[in-house]
Structure 1
Amino acid sequence: MIKISIKDAQIGMVAAEPIKTPLGQILALPGTPLTRQLINKMKLYKVGSISIQNPSYAVAPQAGENTAKRDKVKPVPKTRAHEMVTNIQRVQASEEFLGFQLKYLTCINQIKDTFGKICAGEKSFDEAALLTAVIDLSSSCGTTIETFDMLYNMRTIADPLYSHCLNVGLITRMIGRWLHMEKTDVNTLTIAGVLHDIGKCKIPDDVLNKPDKLTDEEFALIKKHPQFGFDLIRDLQIDSRIKRTALMHHERCDGSGYPSQLDSSLIDDFAMITAIADVYDAMTAARRYRAPLCPFAVISSFESEGFTKYNTKFLLLFLKKLATTYQSNRVMLNDSRFCNIVMLNPHELSRPIVRFDDGSILDLSTNREFFIKSVM
C-alpha cells in the first residue's frame, strides 16, 4: 500500500482504503479500481490524496527525476482490475457516450430551468420541450443495457437532485414501454418521473446534501418533500397523475410510507412505478456510507422486502427485465472470481447460474456464500 497525491492517480490503480471527501463522504470502498469517472469525482470533491494497493504503477516524473530509474518501471501485468476498467473505459470512450453526455447535460439544464421557474411561482412550463429532450436522450440508447450503462457512467454529475430526477424519468419511461402503455401515457409517466422530487428544491442544501447523519428534525423535514412538491405543481395545467406522483412516490403498499401512510388501494399507479425507479436509482448511486450497489444487489434487496412494499405487478416486471438485461453478461463474484451469467433463476433473479472461464458451473441460488458483486 502506498499513499499518493490525487494528481498522480491513474486509471487501473486500486484503492487500498476508503476514499473519502474532506467532509467524510465515502466515494469508493477498498478494492475499487480507479476509473476516469472516479478520478474526476475525487477532483470535484477536492480529495487531496488516496492510498492504493498497487504501487508498481508508474507516475509522472518530477522535475529533475532520474529518467533512467523511471525507465526501469516494469509494465503492470493485467489484473482483474484491468478487466473491470477496460469495460468501463469502453463505454466512456465510445462516440455514443459522448453524444449521450451532451444530451444528458442539455436535459439537466432544462430540468433545472423548469424547477426554477416553478419554484419562482410561474403557473406554466414548456412541458413539450422538456419531454422532447428526454425522449431524444432515451432514443440515443439502442438497448436497455446501453441505457443503464450510460446512466452508470454519468455519476460524476455535480447536480444530484436534477440528475436523479432525469434518471428516474428515463427509467419510468422504460417501465411504461415494458407495460405496453399508450404513447401518451408513457409520455405522462416520463414527466411524472422527472418532476417527482421537485419538492426537494424547498429543502435547504445544507440538509439535503448533509454528509453526516441527519438529526430527527432534519429527517422529518426531508420527509415533507412530497407534500412540498405537490404544493408546487398543484395549480399547473398538467395531468393529475403527475401531481399525485410527486405526492405519493414515497407511499408503500403496506402503509409504511409517507407522508400519509396510504395503502395500495389509494396509491396512484404512476406513483408506484416511479417509487421503484426512484429506489433503484438511489441504490445504484454512491452514498456517504457505501459505494454504489450493483444491479443484482438491488434486485436482491427488492426480492427480500419489496413485494410487500411495492406493487407486485410492476416490481416483478422491472426485476425480470433488469435481470434479463444482464443475461450472458460478465460479472465478478464477492470472492473476486470472474464469470458469465448463463441462466437466470426465475424464482430468485438475484442469484443466476454462472459459468467460469474453465467451463465450471455455479448455481448461486444453492451456493449462498457467493453472490454477484459487480457487473462488468
Structure 2
Amino acid sequence: MKNYPTSELQPGMKVTETIFTDNGQMIMEAGTALTSELISRLTFYGIGSVPAEPLPETAAPMASAEPIKEPAVAIPSKSRASNPSYAQKIKAQPEFMAYQIEYQKKAYNIRSLFDSIIKHPEDPVDLQRILDSCYMLAGMTKTTIDFFDKMHNMRLDDDSVYSHCLNVALIARQMGKWMQFPQEDLDILVLCGLFHDIGKVQIPDEILNKPGKYTDEEFALIQQHPTASYKLLEKLPIDERIKKAALMHHERCDGSGYPQGLKANEIDDFAEIIAIADVYDAMTAARSYRSPLCPFQAIGMFEKDGLQLYSPKYILTFLNRIANTYQNNRVLLNNGQSANVVMINSKHLTRPMLQMDDGSVVDMLNLPDWEIIKII
C-alpha cells in the first residue's frame, strides 16, 4: 500500500499498518478507519506519513466520529434572526471589523518581510517595527477572551503561512504573559512565533498548495522546513532563541519529533512554547483535508497526550488558562443540543458544567457520551 503524507489523508481511508511514534508508543492500530479527529491526532504526534488504503473513487468521505459541522436542525427563520449565534455577534461588532482589516494588513506585512529576508539576506531587519506592528494588533483586543474570540473568527479555509505565523506569535505572547515573563522575553517570544515557519516560504507554491498527492521528494522537501527556517535566520543578528524556535518547534519531549529527534532537556524553552502555539493554531484552523477542530476537541487531545510531548510547566498553564476563556460560551453538542458553559472542571477541562436550554444544569463528567463539537 502507498504511504500518504498526513496532509493528504481523508476521513474514511484505512491505515494498513499499526502506527507508532518514534519511541515505540502505539497510537493507531492497523485497519483503523480515519476520521477528522484521528488525522489531527497524527498531526499532533508529528507523524509525517502513514500507509493507507485510498478511498474508492465513488465513495464519499466518512463522517468524523465526532462531527464537526452543525447538524441540520429545523429552526424557524424568525428564531434564527432574533437569536444570532455567539460568532455572529462577534463578527457584527465594529471592533471586529476594524481588527479584521488590521489583521490582514499585518499578515501582508509579514509576507513582505519574509520575501525581503529571502531576496536580500544582507539587509538589516527592523525588529522593533515588527514588534510595534504586532503589539498594535494585540492592543485591539481588550481581554484574553476577546483575543481568542477574534482569532477564531478570523479563520479562513487553508490559512496562509503568514496568517499562521501571526497567530502563533500572538498565542505565544499570551502564553508568555500567563507565565509572567518580563517584557524583553515577551518580545523575543513574539519574534519566535513570527519567524518559526519562514522556511515554508521557500517551498514553491505549486508544491505547498498542491491539490493532489505529493511525491516522496515533494513531501521530503516540506518536512525540511524547520531546517530551512533556521538556515534563513542563521546569519541574521537576532536572538539565538528565535533561530532555535524555528529549528526545534517540531521536536517533542519524548523524542518523537523532527528534524533531530531531540528530547525534553535538549529542546529550547521558547521552542517548546512555540510548539504548543503552533499545534493549537493548526488544529483549530480549517485545512483542505478536514474541518477545524473545536477548541474543546483540541484541548482534549492536549489533555490526553500533551504531557508526554510537551513540557508540563507550559502545557498545563496553557490548558488551564485557555479552557477558562470558553466559560460562558454557547456550545453545540454531538447529540444536536446546545447549551451554555457555566463552569470549567479544572481536572477534566473538556467536561464542563452546562446549562441546557430548559434551564437545567448538567455535569458532563456524568455524561460520557456527550461531547462538545462546536462553539456557537
Listed one character per residue, the Cα deviations across residues 163-211 of structure 1 (whole Å, up to 9, x for unaligned) are 0000000000000111000001001100100110001011122221223
Q: Residue 139 of structure 1 aligns to which amino acid in structure 2?
A: G
Q: Which residue in 2 is equivalent to 1:91?
A: 90
Alpha-carbon separation, structure 1, partners of 2:157 and 2:365: 36
Q: Quote the offset at 1:358 in angstroms.
A: 2.1
Could you say which structure has the larger radius of gyration?
A: 1
Task: For 1:227 and 1:157, locate their aligned partners in 2 and report how far apart those are by CA, in whole Å.
Answer: 27
CA shift, 1:317, in A, is 0.5
- Tell me what 1:359 maps to: 359
**Compared with structure 1, are the counterparts of its residues 31 and 227 closer, same or farther at alpha carbon in structure 2 (3 Å cutoff)?**
closer
Q: Which moved more, 1:262-271 or 1:123-132?
A: 123-132
1:117·1:125 contact (CA, 8 Å) conserved in 2?
no
Scaled by the length of structure 2, what TM-score is found?
0.77
In the TM superposition, residue 246 of structure 1 has moved relative to its aligned partner by: 0.4
Shift, 1:238, TM fit: 0.6
In 1, distance between residues paired with 2:68 and 2:219? 32
Secondary structure at the residue paired with 1:332? strand
The amino acid that maps onto 2:308 is T
Counterpart in the other structure of 1:127: 127
Aligned to 2:104: 105
- The range that moved more, 200-209 or 251-260, is 200-209
Partner of 1:152, secondary structure, is helix
Conserved 8 A contact 2:68-2:293: no
Residues 220-276 of structure 1: CA deviation (Å, up to 9, x unaligned): 221100000000010101110000000000000000000000001110011000000
User: Which runs of at least 4 in structure 1 moved beyond 6 Å after TM superposition?
Assistant: 28-31
Cα distance in 2 for partners of 1:215, 1:352 equals 44
Q: Does 1:247 align with 2:238?
A: no
Aligned residue number for residue 79 of structure 2: 78
Task: Decide whether aligned partners of structure 1 residues 199 and 321 sit closer, same or farther in structure 2, where only a CA change above 3 A counts.
Answer: same
- Cα distance in 1 for partners of 2:268, 2:317 equals 18
Counterpart of 1:347? 347
Structure 2: state its 5+ residue gaps. Answer: 1-60
Long gaps (5+) in structure 1 = 1-25, 34-51, 58-74
Measure how far apart 1:365 and its partner are. Answer: 2.4
- Distance, in Å, in 1 between the alignment partners of 2:256 and 2:219 is 16
Deviates more, 1:362-371 or 1:189-198: 362-371
What's the C-alpha RMSD, in Å, of the aligned pairs?
2.5
Matches within 5 A, 1:1-376: 32=69, 76-78=77-79, 83=83, 86-123=85-122, 124-156=124-156, 160-376=160-376
Offset of 1:82 from its aligned partner? Answer: 7.9
Q: Which structure carries more relative contact order (alpha carbon 8 Å, separation 6+)?
A: 2
Q: Check 1:323–1:31 CA distance in 2 against 1; reply closer, same or farther (3 A cut).
A: closer
Greater shift in the superposed pair: 110-119 or 148-157: 148-157
Q: Distance in 2 between matches of 1:270 and 1:152?
A: 24
- 8 Å CA contact 1:169–1:191 kept in 2: the answer is yes
1:326 and 1:207 map into 2 onto residues whose CA distance is: 37
**Which amino acid letter does the alignment assign opposite residue 91 of structure 1?**
I
TM-score (norm 1): 0.77
Kindly tell me: are residues 125 and 31 of structure 1, through their superposed partners in 2, closer, same or farther at Cα, counting changes over 3 Å? closer
Q: Residues 89-137 of structure 1, C-alpha deviation per residue, up to 9 Å, x if partnerless?
A: 2111211112211221221122111100111132321111111010010
Aligned length: 312
Of residues 117-126 and 268-277 in structure 1, the stretch that sits farther from structure 2 once superposed is 117-126
